[in-house]
Amino acid sequence: MDILITEEAKKQFDKILENSEHKYIRIYKNRPSIYEDAKLDFMLDEIKEDDELHEVDGYKIIINKRLGCQIFFMNISYGGLMSRDKFSIECDIGLLHF
């Protein structure tokens, strides 16, 4: 899997990780609601047995193996026209099976 983290996202991750006891950034699939479709999100967490670890530019990205095998490319960004003060995770993903 190829993972790209933009420079602005790296700055924001640095701020978040600086004050956290966790060292891993977990990418996970949010459940859909009546207001929005399912999307990828992140949280700080610890690595688990069923996780894949990806080290990208010094950041430790963890993804559940079941989800990770369906993702081919991921772009993590922060800010921009559609999400001014938010992270955005875009990916090329195969069929989701949950």
Do 80 and 95 touch, CB atoms closer than 8 A? no
Q: What is the pTM of this model?
A: 0.83
By mean pLDDT, which of 9-13, 68-72, 91-95 is the weakest? 91-95
User: What span, in angstroms and rounded, lies between the C-alpha atoms of 82 and 59?
Assistant: 25
Name the CATH superfamily for 2-93: HesB-like domain (2.60.300.12)
Q: Where are the domains of the chain?
A: 2-93
Q: pLDDT tens digit string along 54-78?
A: 999 999 999 999 999 888 899 999 9
